[in-house]
Structure 1
């Protein structure tokens, strides 16, 4: 019986979808099958003699070298995964099965491209992670850090920015920005003429590389034409209210290249990210409304009590002292009656600004209703320091204000309560300061009650400045 002669084994190897790679003891390719060109983008002759590690994504090189050393000691590795950078700059996920040939002194490995499988699994994980981060993050910065980490699991994201657009002011801001070459982003007003503005205007993703620049306007080509910038990828953040901003990835010379699949992937997760950002913005807005006065932007009564409880706990623990200054604007009703409520509102905002300029960063100025304000002075060294603080506030408000062409001068009546002299609870201190304020208003003076004034030798109050 005649036996048929088989074709050389190499002819069959080149038909395999998986790639066969042989690497010598120095880590250089000595043989690669035809499938390597499909997976890595290099023709076989381009890979021969090239160090294997040069093709590995830099972040994966240390553990790749560690596993390679283990293989060379005779430990087969059937399911090792790492990432390679293709010739076109794309990142591919590779699953290896490798062993060491002692006789030939080479590593023989089979490489399978599992990029699509890894991305599908990572995408599903990312969507869950974004949703979880939207609920778990304490603030917007924490949310953006979570998002950066999640994006980094899907794509190389060393240079990552979140740009938000303020349509009313036509201004771009960057609440989150990590960039190795541009550490501090520049706020752009107007936003027009920037790559981010182009993404936001069109509500479409934008991928620019040196090879794709010809089809873009000159001002965009100029931005990307910088020698250091290799690739710019931006996708819109589309919410129920429209496009609120953009996510941006950048790669510089020698870095990875982003492609159409990366653009589609980032756009897909950006919709979930936009929802998360919008939810956090709404929560922050509701929280702000619950804690701050809408007219002046000062803490309201609820936030004042929160801070006062905290300050009292600290004072008890450290045996410290604090003061409450209760301010009421004299004859404020006449301003509203004479000039209207719009002027009155502007006056209240101006008063709030002046009061904030008179206190330390650690102190609190709150508006608790109408024309009444409370100032919490923490960590007083001596109780008598409260009166100069009150005088400073009064002096600041004594300066005339020009509002809508009207020159206004308004003075406050101020009552002072000290901890622990006048009470050890928030309610007791506030009540004492309120009573002291009414006594000051009736007497035309603004200070501690006469019998309790720490600065006056005869127990009286310093007269109100003219």
Structure 2
């Protein structure tokens, strides 16, 4: 629009207030005589020029954003505070083709108040890492903060020139849902706050994830307005999506391994456990979140194993091991005890452990760690327990690790047991009788030891026992009691089967260093017992 119609122009010529009209690009297309009277600038010198040329450089962004108060340069060269509320005029496509309004100089008293308010507002906008906006139906954005150019690449003028600009730049996959929310706000009957998340196509073509915190403003006598804050959350969204993909991969891997998962926030002492974790210990449909992580675990762990389990993860937290793995007996919801493996690793922040996470395995389902025939732990589990006992004993003996001893002592003994005449039973009565003999031997061994001790089947007719918190004399006496118990005949179906055992024993008093050192010493002692028919032989 290059000029107003003649009748309107004639009336405007008589107004004492300055009337200003610009095109969509801020070029001045009409001024009435009051412009010259107010500003001192001749009409001819101003027409055709950009209104922004007359605005203080610090206030250009304010005017472009839709704020009506700014400083205007007068003919004398000074800047004065004015108010110019420009109303947009649009074409059939609702594109802005012109703006017009009345220019009023602000009095000095009001000026100070407005300056302070405006300065506070501008400082606030500078602290907000997002785009502050206001919109009305048919008009589009009546206000946009200058951050829109930094975040999306579009100038305030580009955005505000088209009432449909926002809709045209929302990602097509998000547009339908965004428009439903938008329409609900425009047609609301009361004010309310709401939030939208969507993708916006930036000027460079990049897709920007936006979190839009909005409020529908419903006031009598005027169209609904919406105000809001658009925040760029692209980085957070990509992280969220990557975490989701990672979680899905991890969940699939976990499902394949059939392990339970746990996550322990050490700062809040809250532990989260997975559904599979709860299945392993028979917790049913219990809450996956538990306040008081160690208190929750204590209720699951057999009392004789609690100190050993606690010591395992505390050694890791103190920096003495890169992770931890410990086997223990857990109370199952059905009332029975099940052997499980609990392992994990901690996350440290400035040297302080803030989180631990890991898995729980049912050792009965691990063929290599659990013996299906006798329902006893197997070789891997026994070696792991023996390694822990060796480390604990060496720590208590002065290896420099400040860890408490369980039960007042860390002494232990290793027993290696081999059945006598087992091959003859298999050959004469069959392997099914031999298998039942092994099962009865396993039950007798379990009845001969304490809860704190470990009985394991190593292979064939060979069993190992780990006796913890015991001195050499007590261990030797326990070995003799075991030998006597195994000499009692076994009733297997119609058969009475006689079998005894040769037992080799080595104590931690020997000062051996490794798992294999102890197993070799116990094995050598067992062969001496068998060759000399001693029943029990203690390694020297």
Common topology (TM > 0.5)? no
- Give the TM interval when normalised to the shorter protein: 0.3 to 0.5
What is the TM-score when the length of structure 2 is the normalising length? 0.38
Larger Rg: 1 or 2? 2
More strand by share: 2
Q: TM-score, normalised by structure 1?
A: 0.43
